[in-house]
Amino acid sequence: MSKNRLEAFSDGVLAIIITIMVLELKVPHAVEQVSHTAGLADLKPLLPVFLSYVLSFIYLSIYWNNHHHMFHATKHVTGGILWANLHLLFWLSLFPFTTAWVGENHPAPTPAAVYGFVLLMAAIAYYILQRTIVAQQGRDSLLAAAIGKDWKGKLSPVCYLAAIPLAFVSVWISVGLYVFVAFLWLVPDRRIERVLVKRQAE
Amino acid sequence: MSKNRLEAFSDGVLAIIITIMVLELKVPHAVEQVSHTAGLADLKPLLPVFLSYVLSFIYLSIYWNNHHHMFHATKHVTGGILWANLHLLFWLSLFPFTTAWVGENHPAPTPAAVYGFVLLMAAIAYYILQRTIVAQQGRDSLLAAAIGKDWKGKLSPVCYLAAIPLAFVSVWISVGLYVFVAFLWLVPDRRIERVLVKRQAE
Amino acid sequence: MSKNRLEAFSDGVLAIIITIMVLELKVPHAVEQVSHTAGLADLKPLLPVFLSYVLSFIYLSIYWNNHHHMFHATKHVTGGILWANLHLLFWLSLFPFTTAWVGENHPAPTPAAVYGFVLLMAAIAYYILQRTIVAQQGRDSLLAAAIGKDWKGKLSPVCYLAAIPLAFVSVWISVGLYVFVAFLWLVPDRRIERVLVKRQAE
Amino acid sequence: MSKNRLEAFSDGVLAIIITIMVLELKVPHAVEQVSHTAGLADLKPLLPVFLSYVLSFIYLSIYWNNHHHMFHATKHVTGGILWANLHLLFWLSLFPFTTAWVGENHPAPTPAAVYGFVLLMAAIAYYILQRTIVAQQGRDSLLAAAIGKDWKGKLSPVCYLAAIPLAFVSVWISVGLYVFVAFLWLVPDRRIERVLVKRQAE
């Protein structure tokens, strides 16, 4: 079975998720502006919504990037891989909701914790998908070699797990953890590229 | 005529349907929270909307999966197939509406019945599409062999048909039937894969 | 220049237009249902919105189908074709607006006339796109032969043009004309398929 | 690494951005029409929203067109190019917000200035993407030759930069500058096509 349609469908869903998040950036409407002209002050209450949008945009970009790399190193697609991929897309599809909730209620602890919970579930879904592909490709496959020890993939869920209760201590700690994990992954993941080059050299 | 664009367009429509459903998960807004901080209690009224989203997500995933398999076994696309496919997409496009209606009015019987009606029409549209493709591919084709007796495809509309009047007896019976059919299909449909492997062996 | 990306982008835009139209089918909300359970009566005011959705879904399906056939018979894409295609997509992107307006204000004449105006502009944009492609492909090309006398393409804008003033006589006449043109095109356009088969036989 | 998925994802995001902008063209609702039939007068307050939609549609079309040409002349995609592309998509994703804000508050200076700011950031992001690709393809590459002196790419951000403070003098000056730059790019960019033809001739 070809992987093209799985990639196309995932690209579609990710593109839509990333774009509908911006719909939560609601334009301050005329009704609220009876007495004044629209100015920068109208944008101020949107700031936490905007920042949570930026963070989620980065997270979804990271997922798209890693998904891209992972399937680049995948040859065949099975029914199990299809479903593991849909499971990942399900959790990612909740990002617009948690992003808007955390943005509109900053600095309330519960939305920040729920945001972390969805991040955690998406990380677990990604891990399951990776396991499913490696199981099908074999331990000696390009992907297995490329993933290696996968310390980022192991550290991230630990951070999310810690951020959930810590949100009730201080929202800033949990937000700090989410930002930290995002930066961790922003450093481009050259593992697969590196292994590819190595194997071609051998 | 190539099937690539039909697949790409269907993927696009399905990806959007699946994703805009999540827009019905409306963020509990600040106005309603004058006297308290946003907490898990705010999510409680969203629970039926969330669960109906999960169910519809699974249904649309099943449709995408089966659509993927069916067109994998299809060689040529005719005008009739194009229109049968658009007919299927039409009924699937009503999922976000019925999902939101059933979720927001739980446990009202009419929305549950209408949800079943749209499921029924989508199942019929899928059946017509399958017939159209088999008619064009021939009875000895890979697809015809793969579909076989198609007991799932025959049992599902019967369940939906039963669920519509039963919603007025108890919403739980009809919801139970919808969940039952979803689980029926979640068991991966290996028919096409199996037949493919068999034919290659011969 | 390859036509793949133009097709993919057009598919994306058409898929989204067709799907966001359904967002105008607004779920009757709990607030309005204080005193009663959600029932079929709640759907009644949605009927004109639903019917206008069905009509626009059919129109967009026809456009997608014809677009599919036209580019199937196109070899090269120029800057002029890109822009003529974007011009068509612009007018099609106004369908969700006019569809919702006509549906929510049935049977007001102005929305019905504006609906026809956007249909007319889309038909003109399609005609320009067709001319641009034929000019580039040459008068002896497959596409030019397939289009032939193009009586449907010539009759449709005349109907729209008539429907605009007639909406102020009776909305039903103009709606009848829109339905008539849609059925005209629903009869599958086998011209290109036929010419293709003929040329292969020669 | 193949560029197909990057193109497909970018097409998806651009198609969605261009289409959700139209959601801001809000249908004048029944509530406001208690005492009269829906007429053309109801569309009048939508005119600035419509015109800002047209302008942004043209801008996004230009970006899609240039993106199409640029990647047509690109062979390999690196991690750096992926991220530079996502950065561009981020700024483009803010177009629906600024378009709606400027349209609903015409002629307020701040929204017009913020509209220009997002145009400026998108232009800078496009420039960074172009630089990243040229750096990877080499100074003698097709793309580098095609871009040439890139006077349009250099003049545009200067215009946006001027339009931001000038919005506070007169909104019309800054709107005029945005329209001027759009027309500048509408003249089809034949540079890449020209160089391609030249090289094939050599």
pLDDT attached to residue D63? 94
Average pLDDT over residues C96-105: 91
The alpha carbon dihedral of B97, B103, B105, B110 has a sign of positive
Checking if the pLDDT of A188 tops 70, the result is no
The model's pTM is: 0.90
One-letter amino acid at B16 equals: I
The CA distance from A87 to A70, in Å, is 16
Quickly count: other Cβ atoms within 10 Å of residue C26's Cβ: 13
Please, which chains are in contact with A (at least 3 CB pairs closer than 8 A)?
A: B, D
Find the CB nearest B27 among A101, A108, A110. A101
Residue D5 to residue A37, Cβ atoms within 8 A: no
Question: What length does chain C have?
Answer: 202
**Which ranges of chain D have pLDDT less than 50?**
31
Structure confidence at residue C68 (pLDDT): 87
Element (H, E) at B176: helix B171-186
Q: Contact C142/C73 with Cβ under 8 angstroms?
A: yes
When CB atoms are compared, the residue of B5, B23, B90 closest to C68 is: B5
- Find which of B10, B11, B81, B86 to mutate to test the C interface (most C CBs within 10 Å of its CB): B86
How sure is the predictor about C173, in pLDDT bands with cuts at 50, 70 and 90? very high
Mutation target among D85, D86, D87, D102 for the A interface, most CBs of A within 10 A:
D86
Chain C residue numbers touching B20 (CB-CB < 8 A) = 19-20, 22-23
Long-range residue pairs from B194-197, CB within 8 A, at least 24 positions apart, any chain: B194/B146, B195/B142, B195/B145, B195/B146, B196/B73, B196/B142, B196/B146
Mutate to test the interface with D, among A4, A16, A18, A52 (most CBs of D within 10 A): A18
The pLDDT confidence band at residue C57, using thresholds 50, 70 and 90, is very high
* pLDDT bucket at A193, cuts 50 / 70 / 90: low
Cβ C74 vs Cβ C10: under 8 Å: no
Rounded alpha-carbon distances, angstroms, from residue A128 to A77, A122, A134, B186, C161: 15, 10, 10, 17, 58
Is pLDDT larger for residue B150 or for residue C34? B150
Residues of D in contact with A23 (CB under 8 A): 20, 23, 96
CB contact under 8 A, B94 and C22: yes
Nearest CA in chain C to D34: C105
CB pairs under 8 A between B and C: 88
Q: Do C93 and D68 touch (CB under 8 A)?
A: no
- Give the chains touching C; criterion: ≥3 Cβ pairs < 8 Å: B, D
| C153: its two tokens | 């393409």
CB-based contact C192:C73 (threshold 8 Å):
yes
Q: What is the pLDDT of residue C202?
A: 65
The contact set of A with D (CB < 8 A) is 7-8, 11-12, 14-16, 18-20, 22-23, 25, 27-30, 33, 37-40, 42-43, 54, 57, 61, 64-65, 68, 72, 186, 188-190, 193
For residue range B81-119, list pLDDT tens digits in order. Answer: 999 999 999 999 999 999 999 998 888 899 999 999 999
Residue A180 is predicted with a pLDDT of 95
Judging contacts by C-beta atoms under 8 Å, the chain B residues touching residue C188 are 79-80, 82-83
pLDDT band at B142 (very low <50, low <70, confident <90, very high): confident
For residue A39, give the nearest of D112, D91, D120 by alpha carbon.
Answer: D112
**Taking 90 as the threshold, does the pLDDT of residue A94 lie above it?**
yes
CB contact under 8 A, D15 and C12: yes
Q: Which of C118, C120, C133, C119 is nearest to C83 (CA)?
A: C133
* pLDDT one-digit tens code per residue, C112-144: 999 999 999 999 999 999 999 998 887 777 777
Phi first, then psi: give them for residue A8, nearest 5 degrees. Answer: -65, -45
pLDDT of residue C74: 84
Q: What is the mean pLDDT of residues B162-176?
A: 95
- In this predicted structure, what is the pLDDT of residue C140? 72
Q: What is the pLDDT of residues D56-108, one digit of tens each?
A: 999 999 999 889 888 888 888 888 899 999 999 999 999 999 999 999 888 88
Residue type, C190: R
Is the pLDDT assigned to residue C188 strictly greater than 70?
A: no
